[in-house]
Amino acid sequence: MDPNEYDKLQNSLFASFQHLNTSILAISSLIILALTIFFFRKAVVLDVLHLQRETAQILGLDVEKEQRELLWGIVLLTSTATALVGPMAFFGFMLANLTYLIVKDYRHKLLFIVAILIGFISLTLGQALIERVFALEIRISMIIESLGGFLFFILLYRRARR
């Protein structure tokens, strides 16, 4: 494979915050804002679902309907983010686990706020460190994927030992 083709392939495989798809930035922002509001409104439903299926049904929640709506929201949010910057498989996984590690509470409104802050700070600080401090020509998504994969195997190993 010629080096130029390899660069093109690598650009399509890894997410890039330097090369946002600006043609869809406005519509993506609206979709993300609408879904953020949707998930904040569904936080109470998520709190009830956290109590397990049977308890949620006893409390009068239509579990199937709520799960379907939440899944569609997740699909839309994931596809919007992927269309905007590219695929980042482990970023959400890392955010969720770091949030659960920091917040010892089950309330999803608080979990959402902390996860958003961790995501924003980690991406901004990580990008600044890579570009300004270390002056590297590497994408932050490559570091996130490496750390996320490492964290994934650590968590699998811990669970297997239980």
pLDDT tens for residues 126-149?
989 988 888 887 888 888 889 999
Asked if 110 and 142 sit in the same domain, the reply is yes
Q: How far is residue 108's CA from residue 42's CA, in Å, rounded to a whole number? A: 9
Evaluate if residue 17 carries a pLDDT over 80: no
Asked if 79 and 92 sit in the same domain, the reply is no
- For the range 47-52, what are the long-range contacts, defined as Cβ-Cβ under 8 Å and sequence gap of 24 or more? 47/106, 47/107, 47/108, 50/106, 50/108
* H or E stretch covering 90: none
- For all residues of the chain together, what is the average pLDDT? 90
Asked if 62 and 105 sit in the same domain, the reply is no
pLDDT of residue 95: 95
Asked if 53 and 97 sit in the same domain, the reply is no
Once rounded to an integer, what is the mean pLDDT over residues 64-80? 97
pLDDT tens for residues 89-121?
899 999 999 999 999 999 999 999 999 999 999
